[in-house]
A and B are shown apart, each in its own frame.
Chain A
Amino acid sequence: MKPASFEYVTAESWDAAAASLAEHGDDALILAGGQSLVPVMNFRLAQPAVLVDVNVIPDSAYLQIDGDSLRIGALTRHVRFEAPGIDGPLGRLLPRIAHHIAHLPIRMRGTFGGSLAHADPASEWCTLARTLDAVMIAQSVTGERRIAAADFFHSALATDLADDEVLREVELPALGPDWRCGFAEFNRRAGDFAIVQSVAAIELHEGQIVSARIGVGGATETPQRSGAAEKALLGGAPTSELFAEAAGAAADAIEDFLTDQQANADLRRDLVRVMVLRALEDAVSAG
């Protein structure tokens, strides 16, 4: 569990980071918080020839409201989200989610962009990004590319980012005051990756659900939005019965469950039902 040898370079800017990637191609990897990459290198599952450390890039960690969007710098550490700062339903949701990621020392180092680029099936940020249809802003020497969340996650640990692209920023829609957001996840120990998690966001108008976004993570290779659950919710009133119906629809609609020693498809299906329900309940009670 000692990494293979590698060359280490620091990038002073995103341009420099992109240039390094262009130079070394798929032999190079970006080093952000290192909380996923370093363990993988210690297991020698990744053996990059070059590590491009982006931690010193100035002004790369921020949360910034810009019109209808919340812009998140790729190097924003998980712990930053635990502090209040953003108003509105999204601002109330972020700390509740961040708290579930790993343990404090890991949250001190791990980054928002790193989580998305790493694309663990049960990453809270990936599920949030997918649920809210975030836009990933990638940069390479040839320019900038905006990638929709629906296109970004290819499979477990694989994204649309090309070998020569860095992830610089992520845009989330800054949800208006009528939105209510909730989160729930199940794991066996505090700080573990979730077995299943759910992000729920509903927009209410005169007691009716007028928009709904239901995301599920950990259940499948990539986080998914549940069209079935969203359809069940639209136009209804936010009652426990409707939430249970939507949660059931979410669970029934999934076909390609992940299975591992912790949970088979049956348990994951149960958990989807429960987590979607609890995320919805969380949305109306805390969101």
Chain B
Amino acid sequence: MTLIGKSVPRLEDRELLTGTGRFAGDQNFEGQLHMRVVRASLAHGRILSVDTAAAAASPGVFAVWTGVDVADVSPINLRPGSALQDLEKCRQHILAQDIVRYVGEPVAVVFADDPYRAEDAAELIWADIEELPPVVGLMDMPGEFAPGVSTEPAVLVKGYGDVDAAFASAAHIVDCELSVGRHAGVPLETRGALAIWNDDENRLEFHAAAKIPHTNRIALAELLGLELDQLHLFEGHVGGGFGVRGEIYPDEVLVNLAALRFRRPVKWIEDRMEHLIAANHSREQTHRIRAAINADGLILAIDDEFWFNQGAYARTHGATVPVVSATMLPGPYKVPAYRATGRIRLTNVTPAGTYRGPGRYETTFVREQLMDTIAAELDLDPLAVRRTNLIAADEMPYERPFEIGGKPIIYDSGDYPESLARFLDHVDYDAVQAEMAERRASGEMAGAAIICFVELGGDGPFDDVRVEMDTDGRVEVITGVASVGQGVETVIAQICADTLGIDYAGITVTHGQTDRIARGQGARASRVTVMTGNATHKAASGVRGMLLEKAAELLQSPVETLEISDGVIGIVEGLGEGPSVTVAAAAAEILRGQNAPRIAVEESFENDRATYSFGAQLAVVVVDPLTAGVTVERFAVVYDIGRAVNPMLVEGQLVGGAVQGIGGALFEEFLYDETGQPLSVSFADYLMPTAAEVPDVECLVLEDSPSTTNPLTLKSGGDPGITGAGAAIAAAIGDAIGRPGAIKRLPVTPLRLRAILRGDADRKQEKNNAENGVST
């Protein structure tokens, strides 16, 4: 093996850098119609009438639909496996039927011959909507949200151990209330879809699909009433996914439905304003968490109750985010008894789904602020509290006795204390601490913190891969995954080339084309390298076996004496001299006389266990006490990935994730006013971090703890950059202002930080007054 572990350049880059990418907007079909969605401008209301006459008569308009035109289409289903039964009642119709429940909900659609004219016509549609009182409070007493649907449609309880007994015997009990703001993955490329009825093939084609084409194919075919072989999805380039892009929303269904009904291509490109109110939001949850602690800061039990804002409807992800939140909250710590009660709440805002690091970003913030609060209340060193509670190496594999998605949670491998120690060494934490102390002594509000987390990924249940080789030795790897820009083509080519003993650069990796392979799981849950990588290894091993067998015949030498290197099959080095044959010639020989242009081996890799890995992050910040502004001076991540197929790509994931995580920690938030009107509808008010706000992210990628769940011993690497970022920034700010645990809510805006600093100033004043005998 020579290629796995090398930071070889990305195969994807040539197209992207030379402007030959095929994003949704780049694709067009002759005679296409352009769709424009008319969206609700009220958070809650009854549709009295929708006047479409002027729009229908507007130049270039082909058709206008309102709710009645699509009343026969069932609401969008939750993905199998991700649903709680109770959420079925909260599914969304592709166009509002009678009631609108969030600003941005599709009410009507216009199809026109030109996107400008479509938008002109959409402006002429007048929806008469009677305003109803909106539900905006996440933690209000449950009430009715829709007929027969409670504002709290589901409550999930996850736990293990005797929580109440632990609290009864605890030396200390610490509690806090912590919230993460509503934000989401905001890809540079907004959503887009292009559908065309292909008469020759008797099938509907959905182009510019993303993320999970095979899964979406099944769901869409069902919604549209098509046989599975009457629908195919084709992935193009994707300008960012992050969990948000590539799900089935009303808009994508409408495009496909229209192409099917009109027998005419239909194109839709979401604009930025739509994206910020129509695509899945995420993250918003509030936790009331309590910990039972012994005198040394060891956690005996955690009891957490949290409120998760699902928005107005359940989306395809069902209960994924609250379930992951509930089960991953304990993270890298022992926590012998645990109970989480997750209250899924409906409110009149944009529905929520997953965003990179779902459930982990939020709960890592909650857990790590809890650790800081414990340290503050027991007057212990924050790092020492973490060390006391870390799962030890000899406890691996570590099983948490509850289940996620029907499977036990088993942390497969890791030496968490050792990884943390290596990180402290790497960032020279003692020196950092000394510098902070010195700066604070001279009046600066500078602070640093280290937080810990556990990442999960590499999720099954299966992945299929077919490796094909033609008579010239050219290889195509056909997969059921998708690319969200993470480097899947490079990584899969590396694994295939490594197995076959050929150059990776000549390998074609095909993904996201449902007509090329029957099944697929797409790019989600940080699973591609683990699952598709192992399937690739299996299939490529099959091809390798065929090649060696044929070469054994040709070279008159037993298979065991042969190896493949640089595309040539020959005698294993050290076993002496002998003839050799190229891979291409062996392939041609195999195919001679067969009626097939290619050798093909298809394999399935199945796995019902996820991989779990340790990570930690360091943030150094300085707070301007006068403006309540925060500057991030330093940010570092350690991550034990077990085995890195391409370390450069792992680092890329860590850096990109960290930047997004800093966004959620300091800048990004979907705010609403008390009537449910969104306040963050453009990039002027939804603030994404830029290069100027983020320092160079330092990465330490460890390969100390290979996974025990799969033959290649790989672990996931898509999310560790983001998972700890909210926690790290919050903890560093707490350190900077001299109040660990003070940050109760993300993002930490100047407005919120000012309130904390002011509170501190007022308290100080009160204390002084009290000491001086002044009454206030």
Q: Assess the A262–B751 pair: CB atoms within 8 A.
A: yes
Known interface pairs A43-B273, A262-B751, A263-B751. Does A188 touch B629 (Cβ–Cβ under 8 Å)? yes
Nearest Cβ in chain A — how far from B670, in angstroms?
Answer: 11
Q: Assess the A270–B626 pair: CB atoms within 8 A.
A: yes
B contact residues around A190 at 8 Å (CB): 690, 692-693
Contact for A2 among B115, B626, B679, B685, CB less than 8 A: B115
Q: Assess the B679–A261 pair: CB atoms within 8 A.
A: yes
Interface centre among A2, A191, A264 (most CB of B within 10 A): A2
Interface centre among B120, B667, B680 (most CB of A within 10 A): B120
Q: Assess the A1–B750 pair: CB atoms within 8 A.
A: no
Nearest Cβ in chain A — how far from B537, in angstroms?
Answer: 44
- Chain A contact surface mostly: loop
Contact for B629 among A1, A4, A44, A186, CB less than 8 A: A186
Q: Is B262 an interface residue (CB 8 A)?
A: no
User: CB-CB contacts of B133-146 with A at 8 A, as 1s and 0s?
Assistant: 00000000000000
Contact for A271 among B271, B627, B671, B687, CB less than 8 A: B627
Q: Is B399 an interface residue (CB 8 A)?
A: no
Contact for A1 among B273, B627, B685, B690, CB less than 8 A: B273
Q: Assess the B751–A267 pair: CB atoms within 8 A.
A: yes
Segment 186-232 of A: residues with Cβ below 8 Å from B: 186, 188-193, 195
Nearest Cβ in chain A — how far from B59, in angstroms?
Answer: 10
Q: Assess the B693–A1 pair: CB atoms within 8 A.
A: no
A contact residues around B689 at 8 Å (CB): 189
Nearest Cβ in chain A — how far from B135, in angstroms?
Answer: 21
A contact residues around B682 at 8 Å (CB): 43
Q: Assess the A4–B754 pair: CB atoms within 8 A.
A: no
User: CB-CB contacts of B679-716 with A at 8 A, as 1s and 0s?
Assistant: 11010110101101100000000000000000000000
Q: Is A70 an interface residue (CB 8 A)?
A: no
In Å, the complex CA distance between A17 and B192 comes to 40
Interface centre among B627, B628, B751 (most CB of A within 10 A): B627
In Å, the complex CA distance between A195 and B624 comes to 15
B contact residues around A273 at 8 Å (CB): 626
Contact for B671 among A261, A263, A264, CB less than 8 A: A261
Q: Is B381 an interface residue (CB 8 A)?
A: no
Q: Assess the A191–B692 pair: CB atoms within 8 A.
A: yes
For A271, give the chain B residue with the smallest CB separation.
Answer: B627
B contact residues around A3 at 8 Å (CB): 116
Q: Assess the B667–A1 pair: CB atoms within 8 A.
A: no
Segment 166-198 of A: residues with Cβ below 8 Å from B: 186, 188-193, 195
Q: Assess the A188–B751 pair: CB atoms within 8 A.
A: no
Q: Assess the B273–A186 pair: CB atoms within 8 A.
A: no
Q: Is B119 an interface residue (CB 8 A)?
A: yes
B contact residues around A12 at 8 Å (CB): none
User: CB-CB contacts of B51-80 with A at 8 A, as 1s and 0s?
Assistant: 000000000000000000000000000000
Nearest Cβ in chain B — how far from A43, in angstroms?
Answer: 7
B contact residues around A262 at 8 Å (CB): 749-751
Q: Assess the B671–A186 pair: CB atoms within 8 A.
A: no
Q: Is B91 an interface residue (CB 8 A)?
A: no
Known interface pairs A2-B119, A189-B667, A190-B693. Does A263 touch B626 (Cβ–Cβ under 8 Å)? no
CB within 8 Å of A: which residues of B?
Answer: 115-116, 119-120, 123, 271-273, 626-629, 666-667, 671, 679-680, 682, 684-685, 687, 689-690, 692-693, 749-751, 754
- Give me the 7 closest cross-chain CB pairs, A-B, nearest first: A190-B692, A1-B271, A274-B626, A2-B119, A186-B627, A2-B116, A261-B679
Q: A2-B115, A43-B273 are in contact. List 7 more A-B contacts (CB 8 A).
A: A186-B629, A188-B687, A190-B692, A261-B680, A266-B754, A267-B754, A273-B626
User: Can you give 10 A-B contacts (C-beta < 8 A)?
Assistant: A1-B272, A2-B271, A4-B120, A5-B116, A186-B627, A188-B687, A188-B750, A189-B687, A262-B750, A267-B751
